[in-house]
Each structure stands twice: as structure tokens, then as C-alpha cells.
């Protein structure tokens, strides 16, 4: 009898576990927002000629270098990183450059701090040339439509859904 109860509980729990596994693989952005993203634009193209892409929506990810609050809102400088299909930046030294995210909202710099991984769906507004060390650097600038901060990684993670995969 006890075995049958345990088996019944496991059978009832299986759909819940599967649902949680699939939800864990979902992108952090709304489907409607993702539908506006122009996936044909590479970061390299955007960095070289940001004014060419004004008004287009992109999805980028990286690591926060700096966040500044002003009267107009918050500006975040991000070091671009390649990302997985959900928008999570890979933990790698590979990068194609930096970009600036702006928003008219106040985002606390204690939360949006240096080293935090971030993903954004944003509308390109052009470029801005600013000093970087002793040289000048052209930053693509964009207005955030949706932002997502990723939790810090604590090593390899296993996700259960349809099959099992290992993420780093």
C-alpha cells in the first residue's frame, strides 16, 4: 500500500517537474518583445556603424562595467559577451566591445553593479564617442525596452526538462 501511494505521488509530481524544467529554459523577455528583435544585426556591425541601425531592436548581453544615475535616468556601460539562446552571457573573455544602455528609470547602482551579468532588448539610438583610457571609443547607444540581470553562477548547473543538459 505504501509503495502504491509513493508511486502515485511520483506520477502526479512528474508533470509539475516537467513544467518547471521547461519554464526554466524560457527566455527572460516577453514573446512580443523578442518578436521585434532584428537578429540579423551582429554586434560587430552595430559597433562599427551604430547610426546605420537607428530605430532597430537588438538583443545583447554582457557584463556591467559601470552604472550611472542622472536626472534623466540611468546609463549602463556593458562589456559585450556572446550569449546563449536565452540571452545569458557566457562566462568568457571573448568580447567584441562595449555598449551603453540608457533608461529613463532609476536603476540602483548597488544592484546594477560592476561585474553583474545582464541581457537587454533595446532600440538602437546611434553612437557616442567617449574617452576610453587615452584613446576615443565609439559606443553603440540604445534605449532599454526590457532588462534582465542574471544571478551569479556558482559553477556547473544542471537543468531538467526534456532530457538533461549541463550548463556552464
Q: What is the CATH number of the domain that holds 47?
A: 2.40.50.140
Number of compact structural domains in the chain: 1
Instruction: Specify if 128 maps to a domain.
Output: yes
pLDDT reported for residue 7: 55
Residue 96's nearest CA partner among 134, 58, 143 is 58
Phi–psi pair at 113, nearest 5 degrees = -100, 165
pLDDT reported for residue 20: 42
Burial 85-106 (b: 16+ CB within 10 A, else e): ebbbbeeeeeebbbbbbbbeee
Instruction: Specify if 145 maps to a domain.
Output: yes
Domain boundaries, position 89: 28-152
Work out whether the CA dihedral 90, 116, 141, 59 comes out positive or negative.
positive
Instruction: Specify if 6 maps to a domain.
Output: no
What are the residue ranges in the chain where pLDDT is below 70? 1-26, 153-168
Q: Copy the grid coordinates of residue 55.
A: 530605430
Chain CA centroid to CA 102, Å: 15
Instruction: Specify if 53 maps to a domain.
Output: yes
Instruction: Specify if 70 maps to a domain.
Output: yes
pLDDT reported for residue 152: 74
For 142, counting Cβ atoms within 10 Å of its Cβ (0-12 exposed, 13-18 middle, 19+ buried), the class is: buried
Instruction: Specify if 4 maps to a domain.
Output: no
Instruction: Specify if 65 maps to a domain.
Output: yes
Instruction: Specify if 17 maps to a domain.
Output: no
pLDDT reported for residue 23: 44
Contact 61, 120 (CB under 8 A): yes
Say what the pTM is: 0.76
Amino acid at each position: 500500500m505504501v509503495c502504491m501511494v509513493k508511486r502515485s505521488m511520483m506520477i502526479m509530481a512528474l508533470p509539475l517537474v516537467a513544467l518547471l524544467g521547461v519554464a526554466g529554459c524560457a527566455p527572460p523577455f516577453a514573446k512580443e518583445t523578442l518578436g521585434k528583435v532584428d537578429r540579423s544585426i551582429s554586434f560587430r556591425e552595430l559597433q562599427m556603424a551604430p547610426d546605420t541601425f537607428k530605430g532597430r531592436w537588438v538583443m545583447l548581453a554582457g557584463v556591467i562595467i559601470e552604472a550611472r544615475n542622472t536626472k534623466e535616468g540611468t546609463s549602463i556601460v556593458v562589456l559585450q559577451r556572446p550569449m546563449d539562446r536565452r540571452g545569458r552571457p557566457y562566462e568568457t573573455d571573448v568580447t567584441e566591445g562595449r555598449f551603453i544602455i540608457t533608461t529613463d528609470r532609476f536603476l540602483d547602482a548597488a544592484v546594477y553593479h560592476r561585474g553583474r551579468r545582464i541581457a537587454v532588448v533595446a532600440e538602437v539610438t546611434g553612437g557616442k564617442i567617449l574617452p576610453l583610457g587615452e584613446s576615443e571609443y565609439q559606443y553603440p547607444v540604445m534605449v532599454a525596452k526590457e532588462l534582465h540581470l542574471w544571478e551569479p553562477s556558482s559553477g556547473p548547473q544542471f537543468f531538467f526538462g526534456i532530457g538533461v543538459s549541463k550548463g556552464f
